[in-house]
Structures are given as C-alpha cells and as structure tokens.
Chain A
Amino acid sequence: MTTPTPRVIVPSAAAKGEIFQVKTIISHEMETGLRHDDQGNVIPRKIINKFVCRYNETVVFSVDLHEAISANPFFEFSLRATESGRLDFVWEEDGGAVYTLSHQFTVG
C-alpha cells in the first residue's frame, strides 16, 4: 500500500481572464472492492471518491470518482484566471482520509 501523494502542475501566474490548464495526479491504488486476495477474501474497496478544486474558497471544478477511474487518478482541466489568491486541491478517500495541496496564484 503506497502512501497517497498528490501532485499538481499549474502555472504560478496568468493574465486576468486568461484560461490556464491544471494537471493533477495522486498516487493511489484505487482498490475497487471487486478483487480477492490469495485466501479468496474480498479486498475491501478503497478509492479516492471525490476531487475538488477551490479558487479562493469557491469550488470551480469537482469530480465524483467511481471504481472505473484508473489507479493514480489523473485529471486535466481548465480554469479562468479571475484574481490573485490560492488554489486548493482536495482528494477524499473512502474511510474519510483527505489529501490536500495548495498553490499561490498571481493574476497580473
């Protein structure tokens, strides 16, 4: 079991109104709950079930993930630069664990 480690690629600055691209990935096995171990026991489901991107506290993009999202969930999406501030990225795991990253962003 690897420790989930989130990573984000996002520019640090953009012009007001500009569209910028965000790439996010978290190392995670995305255990589906459909597999069995060597003794025939079901390996319990453990997936990242939600991803949220906030821009100065406002949710601007989010995903509900199900079992069919591949291991190490990767998302590439596009946001509009509106003002300087902070981007927060949050991954929620089955069982309640939460993994986060924050990124300062300047709008010139």
Chain B
Amino acid sequence: MAGLETGTMSLTRRDVLIAGSAGFAGVALFSPPSARANDEALDLVEQLIGRKAMMSDRLHLIMPADFPTGYTVPMSLYIDSPMTEADHVRQMRVFAPRNPLIEVASFHFVPQRSLPRVSTRIRLAKPQHVVAVAEMNDGVLLMTTTWVRVATDGCA
C-alpha cells in the first residue's frame, strides 16, 4: 500500500550515488536522450523506491526541452487512466536526478474525484532527464523521462 511513501526522508544526490555505487555509473542521466539514459533512470527509480518500474507511454511528462531559467520550469504531468475504483493511479512522483535534492513532488489522486493530471513549476539545477513515476492501484510502477536543458541553475 505505502510502497512509495518516504515519510520525511530527504534524498540527496549523494545518497543515491552512494547507494548505487555498485554498477550505477550515473553518467547517462546527465547527458542528452539515449536508450541508456532510460536504463539509468530505471535503476535510479529502483534505488529510490525499492521496486522495479517499467517505461510506459501512458505516462506523459511535458516540459520545455530548452528553458532560459532553472528557477521556474513549467511541468505538466498526466497519465491515461480511467480513474475507476478498479483501475486508477494512486500517485505520481517526480524526480530531478541532477538536483542537489532529487525529490520534486508527489501528487496524489482519488478515483472518481480527480483527474490524473497536474501542472506546476519546478526548479532545476542543471540540464538533466527529469523522471516521473506513476504508482497504479495494483502496485505497478510506470515511468517516463523528459530531457530538459536549463541555462541557469535554479537551485543556487
């Protein structure tokens, strides 16, 4: 049930790099799009959440590919889901792996009551693949990534 709950835990990039020192090179996440970047993102999500996610084209993370400031980067997130009691998304989480603090936000939705979509503005320290993970009601984790290049550090 609480597979994605992290309580007050604050994840830093260092924690993740240490946790992933066996095999997680952390290189491809920090470069433009590639199949390898997806593999690295999958590894990262498994380290952060403790379970495997699968890449899915049901999940959409819409961000500008190029943005002048890292302070207020627009972000829209949605997933194709009927939002019935039997088939819905519980929450969607967003990670910025190259920020000093990786977690961005968790959005919680309610079947029949809210649509599984949200827009906000986020801070990015560097150009990076932003990662979104959806936890479905059956526990399946779906994920996607979007490459965003920012010209200035939004975390300074």
Contact = CB atoms under 8 A, between A and B. Distances in A.
B114 A68 contact: no
Interface residues of A, number: 28
A58 B123 CA distance: 31
A68 B105 contact: yes
Given A68-B124, A70-B72, A70-B122, A77 B104 contact: no
Given A32-B155, A34-B100, A63-B106, A69 B113 contact: no
A76 B120 CA distance: 7
Interface stretch (A3-11, A78-86, A96-104): A78-86
Interface residues of B, number: 31
Given A69-B122, A79-B114, A61 B105 contact: no
B121 A62 contact: no
B113 A65 contact: no
Contacts of A59: 108, 110
A64 B10 CA distance: 12
Interface of A: 19, 32, 34-35, 55, 58-71, 73-80, 82
Interface of B: 10, 71-73, 96, 99-101, 103-110, 112-115, 117-124, 154-156
